[in-house]
Amino acid sequence: MTASKSSRARNARTGAQASAARNATKGGTAVKNGSTTKNDSAARAGSASRNGGAGGNRTVTTDGGRGQARTMATRNGAAERGARTQAVPDTAAQGGPAPWLQLTTFLLALAGLGVSIYLTIAHFTESTLAGCSESGLVNCTKVTTSPQSYVFGIPVAVLGLAFYVFAVAIMSPWAWRASRREVHLVRIASMVAGIGFVLYLIYAELLIIGSICLYCTSVHAITFVLFVLTAIAAAAWGLKPGAAWNFRFARQLRLAPQPD
């Protein structure tokens, strides 16, 4: 009986140890499996992270390519607009007032210069002006030899000559097409001064001398017409006709539909 009880006790202890060993083995496997799971999770997470990074790189590269394409397109568009704008100054030479006005003012200035040269020569040579009466209301000699034929000690004929030398230059088509605003300001200022001087001479002839000179009157008429045409040009085209036309032409180019 005692031996049987001892055997059963040993068997029980042996079974308990075996059961504990099996439980430990299962626990170790579970731990190992958990490590494996963790490793798999980490591997998957790492793979996902790497894949995500690769995808991010591809996205960045794609966006960068699109950005570079947009930049290149913008630069190409700017270059095309620049090329069109650079072509404007070549055509801008046709700007300014209408050609008929440019030519008319230039020819009138030449005519005034011619008459002024003749009056200056007649003044210094004291010769009689051709075709001009010397009695009555029309009396060229009386006018050209009067005290009013001098202003500040300078003969009026010389002042007229200097004025029309300048008028020929400022009324030339090249001056009308100038892009500098100062040129057009000087033109209209000179015409205002010229018409003011003409009004004084007309006053002197009619109210002080009591006679008129046909040649002087022709110069007065030419100056008046030049003044009117210059005022019309300034009102219609502004004080910088060439640049204003250039701006309008460039604006038309920008608004015009461009071919693909």
- Contacts of residue 224, defined as CB under 8 A and 6 or more positions apart, other chains included, come to 195, 198
Q: Are 124 and 161 in contact (CB under 8 A)?
A: no
φ, ψ of residue 212 in degrees (nearest 5): -125, 160
Q: What pLDDT is recorded for position 208?
A: 94
Looking up tokens 């042996």 gives 14
Cα gap 224→199, rounded to integer Å: 10
Share of the chain above pLDDT 90, in %: 42
The three-point CA angle 145-167-246 to 5° equals 165
Q: What pLDDT is recorded for position 134?
A: 76
Asked if pLDDT for residue 39 goes beyond 70, the answer is: no
Q: Mean pLDDT across the stretch 246-255?
A: 49
**Count of Cβ atoms closer than 10 Å to residue 147 Cβ:** 8
pLDDT tens-digit readout, 146-166 = 999 999 999 999 999 999 999
* 34 sits in which H/E element: helix 2-91
Length of the chain: 260
Runs of H (alpha helix) within 126-255: 140-144, 156-170, 173-176, 181-203, 214-237, 241-255
Please state, rounded to an integer, the average pLDDT across all residues of the chain.
73
Prediction pTM value: 0.57
- Contacts of residue 52, defined as CB under 8 A and 6 or more positions apart, other chains included, come to none
Cα gap 84→94, rounded to integer Å: 17
Question: What is the domain partition of the chain in residue ranges?
Answer: 1-77, 98-255
Residues pairing with 150 in the sheet: 155
193 vs 27, which has greater pLDDT?
Answer: 193
Lowest mean pLDDT among 17-26, 211-220, 246-255: 246-255
DSSP state of 149: G
Q: Mean pLDDT across the stretch 225-244?
A: 80
Domain 98-255 has CATH 1.10.287.130: no
pLDDT tens-digit readout, 177-226 = 888 889 999 999 999 999 999 999 999 999 999 999 999 999 999 999 99
Asked if pLDDT for residue 252 goes beyond 70, the answer is: no
3 state DSSP class of 153 = coil
DSSP letters along 4-17, please?
HHHHHHHHHHHHHH
Q: What pLDDT is recorded for position 210?
A: 92
Q: What pLDDT is recorded for position 131?
A: 83
Asked if pLDDT for residue 30 goes beyond 90, the answer is: no
